[in-house]
Amino acid sequence: MGDNLFEGLPPPSHQQQEKEEEDKQGKDQNPLSLKTSSSSNKKEAPPNPVLKSALKRPKPAESAPEAEPDKAAAPEKKRLRFKTTTDASEKQVIEAMQKIASHIKNPSKFGKASKLAIQLIQAGSVKAGTSEQFFAILEAAMSSTTSCTDPSVRADYHSLFSAAQDAAECLNKKQKNQLTVWTFRAVLANDLLTDDSFVFSKTASQLKDAISSLPIATEDDDIDEAATLKDETAIGNDDNDNKQAIVAPAEENSKDESDPFGLDALIPSSGKKDDRTKGKKDVPAKSRKEDEEETKRFLKSKREALISCLEIAARRYKIAWCQTVIDILVKHAFDNVARFTSRQRDAIEKLWASVREQQIRRKQGKSVTGKLDVNGFEWLQQKYSTEKISIRHSVGASGDRRCQQWLG
């Protein structure tokens, strides 16, 4: 017995198996053992809050439509209404544009109609298929009885034609040129009426660039201007009608004399191909003529818009901080007076003469108020025109290049 203490005992593995079998039987028989075992398992398992949070996440999504069906259906209707406005068909957009064009002529409805037009531009509804209707809105806006610089609609015109620049890609060449002219009248002209000196000077620089981009006016431009002023177009049309009435029977008589027996109709025409080639050649010639007429019309309208902007700027010459900018702008227009027609040249020369006269009156102290009305730029210009500045800076205060040497 002293030699082997573990004699007669089962092996360790067998003993463990018997204990496990006894534990299983005890669990089946005693319900209390289940509680103890579950409590031991709970200690070993991961913490409960993680499992509860994981189980609670999908519950609101499943129970929300059953518990509160009315609240869940409300946002879906709002989404559908929003989609109908953004995903409107081309037919609906055209109808909306036609309604806006009919109401935008009315000054009392101009503000609301212009805001609706801006919403269409921002939503991307202005495309190639709706560009004609959109241009009709702008045309109706500019055909209104009220001026685009009127204080009651000034801000709405500025917003509409500023936003219209984003949709200019959908317009053709003629429409783009017309939009450029309208932008001068509705945007730049209103910027000249601002109280912000930075915006005023920026607008003046844009007008200077536009004047510099104009070509030199020709004699044809002066002739066209004179024709429009004297209304010779209407008289010329009447004269052309009378000439055609006289020429038509003469041509018939010449045809009768050249073919008295009517044999030319029986001879097969051998020059059909020549007629086709002539027709093909006439098409590019016609398009070139239309392009030339369009460029002339665009330049004429652009010059008139620039002259109106100069007149608006000249009216603000009484404001002190506007005077220097207006002086530079009008001087630039006077230096480039050859780019305008004869009547416009006279207007620019008169404008420059009035500006020069007011400059002299301000320097002499003969302004409306009776005080020396000189702005900051002119005061500094007058001060430093007689100032002596030394090339050695601090050597000699009066610029006489003298200095005193102190020996200590």
pLDDT, one tens digit per residue, over 342-361 is 889 999 999 999 888 888 88
Q: Which domain holds residue 343?
A: 194-233+297-385
Q: What pLDDT does 145 receive?
A: 75
Domain membership flag for residue 277: no
Looking at the structure, do residues 365 and 226 belong to the same domain, yes or no? yes
- Compute the average pLDDT of residues 95-111: 91
Band of the pLDDT at 331, cuts 50, 70, 90? very high
Q: What pLDDT does 285 receive?
A: 75
Q: What pLDDT does 224 receive?
A: 82
Q: Look at the block and give the residue holding tokens 């000439």.
A: 243
Looking at the structure, do residues 186 and 199 belong to the same domain, yes or no? no
Res 239 pLDDT > 60:
no
Domain membership flag for residue 346: yes
Looking at the structure, do residues 183 and 206 belong to the same domain, yes or no? no
**Cα–Cα dist 107/401, whole Å:** 70
pLDDT, one tens digit per residue, over 157-170 is 999 999 999 999 98
Segment among 10-14, 235-239, 286-290 with least mean pLDDT: 235-239
Name the residue with higher pLDDT: 370 or 289: 289
Domain boundary among 191, 221, 254: 191
Res 106 pLDDT > 70:
yes
Supply the pTM of this predicted model.
Answer: 0.58
Domain membership flag for residue 159: yes
pLDDT, one tens digit per residue, over 137-183 is 999 999 887 888 899 899 999 999 999 999 999 899 999 999 999 99
- Compute the average pLDDT of residues 279-298: 78
Q: What pLDDT does 163 receive?
A: 93
**Cα–Cα dist 340/152, whole Å:** 32
Looking at the structure, do residues 215 and 328 belong to the same domain, yes or no? yes
Percent of the chain topping pLDDT 90: 32
Domain membership flag for residue 257: no
The helix (H) or strand (E) run that includes residue 329 is helix 320-335
Res 16 pLDDT > 80:
no
Res 251 pLDDT > 90:
no
Given a contact cutoff of 8 angstroms between Cβ atoms, the answer to whether 134 and 107 are in contact is no
Looking at the structure, do residues 210 and 348 belong to the same domain, yes or no? yes
Tokens of 265: 């109709």
Q: What pLDDT does 3 receive?
A: 61
Given a contact cutoff of 8 angstroms between Cβ atoms, the answer to whether 126 and 163 are in contact is no
Band of the pLDDT at 220, cuts 50, 70, 90? confident
Looking at the structure, do residues 208 and 225 belong to the same domain, yes or no? yes
Looking at the structure, do residues 181 and 198 belong to the same domain, yes or no? no
Q: What pLDDT does 320 receive?
A: 86
Domain membership flag for residue 167: yes
Looking at the structure, do residues 109 and 200 belong to the same domain, yes or no? no
Looking at the structure, do residues 215 and 141 belong to the same domain, yes or no? no
Rg over CA atoms, the chain: 45
Looking at the structure, do residues 227 and 357 belong to the same domain, yes or no? yes
- Compute the average pLDDT of residues 98-113: 91
How many other C-beta atoms are found inside a 10 Å radius of the C-beta of residue 354? Answer: 13
Name the residue with higher pLDDT: 23 or 109: 109
Domain boundary among 133, 158, 191: 191
Mean pLDDT in the chain?
Answer: 74
How many angstroms separate the first and last alpha carbons of the chain? 123
Domain boundary among 191, 222, 248: 191
Q: What pLDDT does 293 receive?
A: 87
Name the residue with higher pLDDT: 118 or 58: 118
Res 236 pLDDT > 80:
no
**Cα–Cα dist 348/351, whole Å:** 5
Domain membership flag for residue 43: no
- Compute the average pLDDT of residues 303-315: 92
Looking at the structure, do residues 179 and 227 belong to the same domain, yes or no? no
Looking at the structure, do residues 333 and 358 belong to the same domain, yes or no? yes
Domain membership flag for residue 342: yes
Domain membership flag for residue 373: yes
Indicate the number of domains in the chain. Answer: 2
Name the residue with higher pLDDT: 19 or 307: 307
